[in-house]
Amino acid sequence: MVRVSADSLEVLRKRTSAKWRTFPEDVLPLPVAEMDFPIAKPIRDVLIDMIKRSDTGYSGIAPELPQAFANYAKRNWDWTVNKEQFYLATDVGVAGVEVLRLWTTPGDKVVINTPVYLNFFTWIKEAKCEAVDVPLARIGDEWALDLTALEDAFAAGAKAYILCHPHNPVGHIFTLDELEKIAELAKKYNVLVISDEIHAPLIFSKAKFIPYLNVSDTARETGLCITSASKAWNLAGLKCAQIVADNSAINDRLLQLPLASPWRTSLLGVWASIAAYNQGEPWLKAVINNVDDNRHYLAKLLKKHLPKAKYTVPNSTYLAWIDLSAYGQENVAALLLDKGRVALSNGTDFGGVGKDFVRLNLATSKEILKDAVLRMASVLED
């Protein structure tokens, strides 16, 4: 059985990623969605072997990657991936922008559901489109899709819909009923569904993830998947994302992707992704067990030290979405950074309904989580 523990703060501060270089050393950084765990041994081994062999040339199309992804998808989601409709991009952001460029013209409307991954706004702007917000409905402690508002947005002329599935930052996993209705509406109004499934492997045991392309023929006719091993196996710096479709008309459009697209990925990223999908599940299960503990541990910490905070334990991702509105601070993330020296994602960046929220990374140690909450409490409670 594989066991994985988060690195100590001393070791983590030797990393050179943006997470660890954006803030001064007295700040505890928990905004960026990258893990504090050492990477999986099969991935580390393949990367070390490639470096030893000076195998650091250009990337391209490696048939081993669609096969590895297809095997993983079949094992975990009973999804039979069409390996002939499988494309590479530098990362999921690049994939999203390139797909938007193929399906939209400047000024077209693209639907999103806030609070949502902040870079969706960047993608839409880069494609010279207009973001149309259909906020998630908050029903008690849960979040759900407002299907009536979604249909209104589609009927008003939207050309594309970026579905964050599972949803970042709220951790919602869209149900079969929601996905079927999305597909029906997309077909009715000729809207392309771009299903961002980068968090799909990060599901807790009692929840069920259904890939959009595994929902129905209508879903396959109306959408595509953009994804990567980068989030689940902590490979963001290795730059290799996947675009997957299962419909001839959609594939005809994807054939117009830039010819250089696969060449712009990283060779190290391609083979790290193959290792992740083929051999990385034992490590991932161990990490998910840690995050599973942490999501409940955070609830206990908040109840004890920040009792006015509202937090729904997420069903997926390693991100916590915390409502601090009861503390009455205008810009709570900035206050916590300035006075508490803890960096969290500002909820406003995820869309207007994110005001008064912060996003916190759970993929770390219990010691760091406790330190973060105590720093927050020192500002908001004391």
CATH classification of the domain holding 219 = 3.40.640.10
What helix, strand, coil percent values describe the chain, rounded to 5? 45, 15, 40
The answer to whether residue 154 scores a pLDDT higher than 90 is yes
For the full predicted model, state whether its pTM sits above 0.95. Answer: yes
pLDDT given for residue 139 in this prediction: 87
Of the three residues 260, 279, 298, the one that is the final residue of a domain is: 279
Tell me the H-state helices in 190-241.
217-222
What is the domain-level CATH number for residue 301?
A: 3.90.1150.10
Residues 151 and 268 occupy one common structural domain: yes
Residues 160 and 238 occupy one common structural domain: yes
Copy the structure tokens of residue 53: 């062999």
Chain-centroid distance of CA 119 in Å reads 10
Q: Give the number of other Cβ atoms within 10 Å of residue 51's Cβ.
A: 11
Residues 257 and 308 occupy one common structural domain: no
The answer to whether residue 283 scores a pLDDT higher than 80 is yes
Measured CA to CA, the distance from residue 146 to residue 178 in angstroms comes to 10
Residues 131 and 269 occupy one common structural domain: yes
Of the three residues 250, 279, 308, the one that is the final residue of a domain is: 279
Q: What is the mean pLDDT of residues 148-156?
A: 98
Model pLDDT for residues 344-369, shown as the tens digit of each residue: 999 999 997 899 999 999 999 999 99
Structural domain range at position 169 = 56-279
Label residue 297 by pLDDT band (50, 70, 90).
very high
The answer to whether residue 23 scores a pLDDT higher than 90 is yes
Residues 345 and 223 occupy one common structural domain: no
**C-beta of residue 327 within 8 angstroms of C-beta of residue 310:** no
Comparing CA positions, the residue from 161, 150, 223, 163 lying closest to residue 199 is: 163
Label residue 1 by pLDDT band (50, 70, 90).
confident
If 0-12 CB within 10 Å is exposed, 13-18 middle and 19+ buried, where does residue 192 land?
Answer: buried
Identity of the amino acid at 276: A
The answer to whether residue 60 scores a pLDDT higher than 90 is no
What percentage of residues in the chain have a pLDDT greater than 70?
100
Residues 239 and 319 occupy one common structural domain: no
In the three-class reduction of DSSP (H, G, I as helix; E, B as strand; rest coil), residue 119 is classed as helix
What percentage of residues in the chain have a pLDDT greater than 90?
96
Residues 186 and 295 occupy one common structural domain: no
pLDDT given for residue 252 in this prediction: 98
Q: What is the mean pLDDT of residues 68-86?
A: 98
Q: What is the mean pLDDT of residues 196-220?
A: 96
Question: What is the count of structural domains for the chain?
Answer: 2
- The mean pLDDT of the chain is 97
Query: Is 263 inside any structural domain?
Result: yes
Q: Give the number of other Cβ atoms within 10 Å of residue 380's Cβ.
A: 21
Residues 240 and 359 occupy one common structural domain: no
In the three-class reduction of DSSP (H, G, I as helix; E, B as strand; rest coil), residue 323 is classed as strand
Of the three residues 279, 301, 331, the one that is the final residue of a domain is: 279
pLDDT given for residue 206 in this prediction: 82
Residues 320 and 288 occupy one common structural domain: yes
Q: Give the number of other Cβ atoms within 10 Å of residue 193's Cβ.
A: 25
